[in-house]
Amino acid sequence: MRKKTNFLFVFILAIITFIPSIFATDKVDDIVLTESSYNNESIYKYGASVSLEKDTDGSVALAGNDVIIEKNIIGASIAAGNQIDFSGASEYLFLVGNSIKTNGNVARDAFIFGSIIEADGVFGRDVTIFGSSVKLKGNYTRNLVIKGNKVIIDGAKINGNIHITADKIEVINRAVIEGRLKYNEDAEINIANSTITIQETFANKNAFNMKEHLTSVTFSFINKIVLFAVLTLIFPCLFNKINRVTAKDSVNEVFTTAIKGLIGLIIIPITAILLLVSSIGISVGLILLVLYFIIIYASSIFAGYFIGKKLWGKLIKSEEQTLLVGIFGIFLLTVLNLIPYFNILVSFASLIIGIGIVLNLFKRETIIQTNEVVKEKSKKPIIKKTTKKND
């Protein structure tokens, strides 16, 4: 469950970068989706204010400063905006915004990410909420995972377990938790006039555990080595291309590659989301998102090979072999990742350098090849034709 939550959190952060571009658009009109504006199909719209006022048989993806959903949706409801108000019904719910209020019916899973969140209504399956201030009301059939600064369970009924990571927790107004309430041990908690079946704490996740960290880094190193070996066997030309596009041996090249990676880290998800909310680029947007996460997953491998190649000749001073160079570079990054807290900086640097390397692979080499051909032709001796004069 934790891995899924972390994955979704990274995905949501990518989406959040798209939201400000919506707010900054002055020419986008308000949109009211009624019976006459579409015919029972999936809806992908964005505007200054978007309101759904008609039931639909398809999924809905809406974005704007204000988003209101108050009808039934037979599919998934996806909304991104500054203020979101969901009071309808949906199979799945996926909300990202600043201020979010729900008072509807969600048949299956719900994912809510924002600053101020008030969740009310009926939720049929698991619920994941990340926010600064979170207030829970309503009925929850299964489990909840909540991360925030302040969490208030205000008269809610929870049939499953609830896992909370927060600074302050309140369980008040006859709230009922039939499963297990689990929260971080350093949280300030207040329980008043409520029923909890099982209550337990867990160690603060911010506390550094060297044994767990070492185990995690070791398994990560093994996975990267295996994946790198597979890539070298299946796509040997890939690393030859990396050698060509990163041939310059300078600090400036590393910096330039990292800047490209940072830009790609931001621009690619924005482009994908723009394609998803358009009517003609949904499939392209989905493909771009899939490729984006594949690149993120493999970025540390490309970064390791890049670093290994730059340092191989200076430290090892022997003939380069692709597999050994990659293992050497990945090992160096793994050692740096063993340093507490510094590993965060190393991971981020590996991420943007890896993405930058992938973007460098799209450099055009035809111009370079043409210039080389011209140079070779210019080196050829010019043979002058002579004619014999008749006596």
H runs (alpha helix) in the chain:
2-16, 19-23, 210-234, 236-245, 251-277, 282-315, 322-337, 342-360, 366-379
Q: What token pair was written down for 148? A: 């925030």
Mean pLDDT of 372-382: 48
How far apart CA 178 and CA 160 sit, in angstroms, is 6
Q: Is the model's pLDDT at 385 over the cut of 80?
A: no
Query: Which tops the pLDDT comparison, 14 or 281?
Result: 281
Q: Look at phi and psi of residue 291 and say left if phi exceeds 0, alpha if psi is from -120 to 50, else beta.
A: alpha
How far apart CA 238 and CA 234 sit, in angstroms, is 9
Confidence at residue 374, expressed as pLDDT on a 0 to 100 scale:
43
H runs (alpha helix) in 235-341:
236-245, 251-277, 282-315, 322-337
Mean pLDDT of 205-216: 64
> What is the identity of the amino acid at 114?
G
Query: Which tops the pLDDT comparison, 105 or 278?
Result: 105
Mean pLDDT of 204-212: 59
Confidence at residue 3, expressed as pLDDT on a 0 to 100 scale:
42
Q: Is the model's pLDDT at 25 over the cut of 50?
A: no
Least confident of 24-28, 64-68, 242-246, 358-362: 24-28
Q: Is the model's pLDDT at 159 over the cut of 70?
A: yes
> Whole-prediction pTM value?
0.54
H or E element, residue 1? none
Other CB atoms within 10 A of residue 354 CB: 27
Burial class (CB in 10 A: 0-12, 13-18, 19+), 153: buried
> What is the identity of the amino acid at 269?
P
Task: Answer whether 265's CB lies under 8 Å from 316's CB.
Answer: no
Model pLDDT for residues 133-143, shown as the tens digit of each residue: 999 999 999 99
Confidence at residue 206, expressed as pLDDT on a 0 to 100 scale:
53
- The pair phi, psi for residue 357, each rounded to 5°, is -65, -45
Look over the chain and give the mean of its residue pLDDT values, rounded to a whole number: 79
Single out the residue of 76, 41, 82 nearest to residue 61, CA to CA: 76
Confidence at residue 286, expressed as pLDDT on a 0 to 100 scale:
83
How far apart CA 220 and CA 212 sit, in angstroms, is 12
